[in-house]
Structure 1
Amino acid sequence: MPGALPHAGRADLLARVGSVQQAAYARPIAYQEGRAHGLAAVEVKNGPMRFVAMADKALDVSQFEWRGENLSFLAKPGLNGRNQFDTNGVEAQRSIMGGLFFTCGFENIGAPVATDGAAGRYPAGDFPMHGRIRTTPAEHVCSDARWEGDDYVLEVSGEMRESALFGENLVLRRRIRTTLGSPTLTVEDEVTNEAFRAEPLMWMMHCNIGWPLLDEGAEVIIPSRAVEPRDVDAEADLAHWAEIGAPEANRPEAVFLHTLAADADGRSFAAVINRTLGLGLVIDFSVREFPYFMEWKSLAAGDYVVGLEPANSSVRGRTWHEARGDLHLIEPQAVERKSLSFTVVEGEAALAGVMARRDALLR
């Protein structure tokens, strides 16, 4: 296994360290300056992997490192605590940090919108860019590190509630898990509608790859059966959606909507690989849980990022689904579960394996 520590198990490791925290830990932290002042988080290290889950921001993972190299994207505003512009229309761009992923929804994904609810068929209101759940602080936060046989398990969990008087009452329970030496991080989510009416449940995992994994010559690997540009900027780049070039000043972003191939169990994936580094990051998920998939590609200097975005709705947004009559709803007291995992791959053979997996799904 790439990155696995060279120890047979629990006793073998304990013979070599005083505290297991020499190799791995999960510890609560808080930031002390700037816009991040007071931001509560949990820092986790499993040996070669280090990540930070933000307790004040839906337990989204802000930083993700492998062997000391950052693989995720951090936007210009940097780390943010809760600000007055968290969910005010397009001002969300002043608090969207990127990170390994941020959770979009649950009442909207995509651009901010005001809607009458398609003539009363759906709840009406003003819905901010990518929704409110990403700025919701967690309760009942737990960080744990423990032995399960010869596996040293590192885990973060908590609960977020998106709710309003006379409105929705959606509860997200999240668990993030890895093990010592593993190249894989798993996110398991469960949403319960604790209200007494059906509620919209738009749900997108906005996964963000940044430098140095993202660099000139890197490749986006997606088993895409069909791809549609969102707008004219994406249409101009359509033939090159999988290619990563050098940063360019003021280059417009491009968003592509993909139809993914999947195996018999509905499993699919998306990845970015960098042959120069001999490194890649693979995101695994189910197309039954996430039937939509978007690629966000920004090669603009200073905003250099690729977003890989499994979702249960289109990034075209809430009013697009309302007009079609297929806005996804969760019934009163119902529960929906979703999961995805991030795996670091290293070496020429492993990168070739990612491409072979794509080709096999497309046959």
Structure 2
Amino acid sequence: MLVNRDNPARSNMLAHMGSLQQAAYTRPIEYQEGRSHGLRGIEVKNGPLRFMSMADRALDIAQIEYRGENLTFLSKPGLNGRNQFDTNGAEAQRSIMGGLFFTCGFENICAPYVTPEGSKYPAGSYPMHGRIRTTPAEHVGSDAYWNEDGQYVLEVSGEMREAELFGENMVLRRRISSVYGTSTITVEDEVTNESFREEPLMWMYHCNFGWPLLDEGAEVVIPSRKATPRDETTAADATPWNEIGAPVDNKPESVYLHDLAADANGRSFAAVVNRRLGLGVVIEFDAADFPYFMEWKSMGSGDYVVGLEPSNSSVHGRGWHERRGDLHTIAPQATERKVVTFAVIEGDAAIDALVARRDALLAA
């Protein structure tokens, strides 16, 4: 790739640093103890932004910090590599880590599912949130380089294969990138059905925000035209879906299905903001790629988290779609692509602008 040598930003960085790794790098790592022993990851530092992409778990981003503040939720089991809980029904809850996002799919999302007798689909047993999130990456790469536009790019890439003898053969190719001087992470994914039969393709990004970003007084900012409770427990929750209170012992989770507004270009977003902390995280995406959007709000002590979940399928799960006859599928040899961007925003002005954007979408 040709690089523009007349690059003031590059010259300025080189003048101020012995090594650019003072400010930005990608660095392969391996954890050495507990449940995470042997877990491979890639640490990415971009100025005040730092995150971990887990090579042994679909390159999902399990940890992210900004100016030293944690932004996401880490569940009670903590970081962990592949284990016996990964693909065993509801015991997936013993291996779900949380993080900025974990990828759900592709044969199933949400509750565990067993194909009923008489289904037109092959018999199968599918764990909670599917298998792709626990699939180790192959052809893993990481790099830090100047591109032809004069930007210093931090990049992680690899591919994951969800496959079974006589069954599916789905390949996820993923590229995660961040440009130095920005507080943005872009995830570019493509899934190819390398089998010779039509396959279900349920695809959700489970994005999880935790303390200290999530704290009493924080707010969920979504251009939601309508919020539908998933169940009676959620309907009985008197707290508005967008308000965050203090943790409550043993409080049950609430889950909402949102109808999102989008702009003239089809773009929509979801965010958690905390004015006291002066920070927020915004998820950007094309609404057409994600006809379903769910909010998981857990205010229980020790399970204190808000999940924002752009998806091509409903939280009601695979069986619900099968009964309706609208299970999303992908043809043999076909490819589908999605791009999701995460941005950290800082300061009251940025939060005010985000709220104004939400209000404008809802007023349009």
Q: Report the TM range for the smaller structure's normalisation.
A: over 0.9
Aligned to 1:65: 65
The letter for the 2-side match of 1:136 is T
Q: Does 1:106 align with 2:73?
A: no
The letter for the 1-side match of 2:132 is I
Aligned to 2:171: 171
Q: CA deviation at 1:172?
A: 0.1
Q: Partners of 1:120 and 1:219 in 2: how far apart?
A: 43
1:279-318 aligned at under 5 Å gives the runs: 279-318=279-318
Q: Partners of 1:197 and 1:252 in 2: how far apart?
A: 41
Q: Contact 1:108/1:129 (CA < 8 Å) preserved in 2?
A: yes
Provide, for residues 170-209 of structure 1, a one-character-per-residue CA deviation record: whole Å limited to 9, x for no partner. Answer: 0000000001121100000000000000000000000001
The letter for the 1-side match of 2:303 is D
Q: Contact 1:40/1:54 (CA < 8 Å) preserved in 2?
A: yes
Q: Partners of 2:279 and 2:51 in 1: how far apart?
A: 17
**Worse-superposed segment, 143-152 or 296-305:** 143-152
Q: Partners of 2:236 and 2:269 in 1: how far apart?
A: 25
Q: Contact 1:229/1:238 (CA < 8 Å) preserved in 2?
A: no
1:28-43 aligned at under 5 Å gives the runs: 28-43=28-43
Q: Does 1:250 align with 2:286?
A: no
Aligned to 2:12: 12
Aligned to 2:4: none
Aligned to 1:234: 234
Q: CA deviation at 1:238?
A: 6.0
Match of 2:79, SS state, is coil
Q: Partners of 1:110 and 1:246 in 2: how far apart?
A: 26
Provide, for residues 6-55 of structure 1, a one-character-per-residue CA deviation record: whole Å limited to 9, x for no partner. Answer: x9500011000011011110010000000000000000001110000000
Q: Contact 1:154/1:180 (CA < 8 Å) preserved in 2?
A: yes
Aligned to 2:216: 216
Q: Does 1:135 align with 2:98?
A: no
Aligned to 1:201: 201
Q: CA deviation at 1:85?
A: 1.2
Aligned to 1:335: 335
- TM-score normalised to structure 1 length: 0.96
Q: Partners of 1:181 and 1:72 in 2: how far apart?
A: 21
Q: CA deviation at 1:239?
A: 5.5
Provide, for residues 86-128 of structure 1, a one-character-per-residue CA deviation record: whole Å limited to 9, x for no partner. Answer: 11011100000001100000011111011137x3422331110
Gapped regions of structure 1 (runs ≥ 5): 1-6
Q: Partners of 2:115 and 2:319 in 1: how far apart?
A: 7
Match of 2:356, SS state, is helix
Match of 1:342, SS state, is strand
Q: Contact 1:173/1:190 (CA < 8 Å) preserved in 2?
A: yes
Give me the CA root mean square deviation. 1.1
Q: Partners of 1:203 and 1:360 in 2: how far apart?
A: 29
Q: Contact 1:57/1:138 (CA < 8 Å) preserved in 2?
A: yes
Q: CA deviation at 1:134?
A: 0.2
Q: CA deviation at 1:219?
A: 0.3
Q: Does 1:121 align with 2:126?
A: no
Provide, for residues 40-79 of structure 1, a one-character-per-residue CA deviation record: whole Å limited to 9, x for no partner. Answer: 0000001110000000000000001101111011000000
Aligned to 2:143: 144
Runs of 4+ in 1 over 4 A off after TM superposition: none
Gapped regions of structure 2 (runs ≥ 5): 1-6
The letter for the 1-side match of 2:192 is T
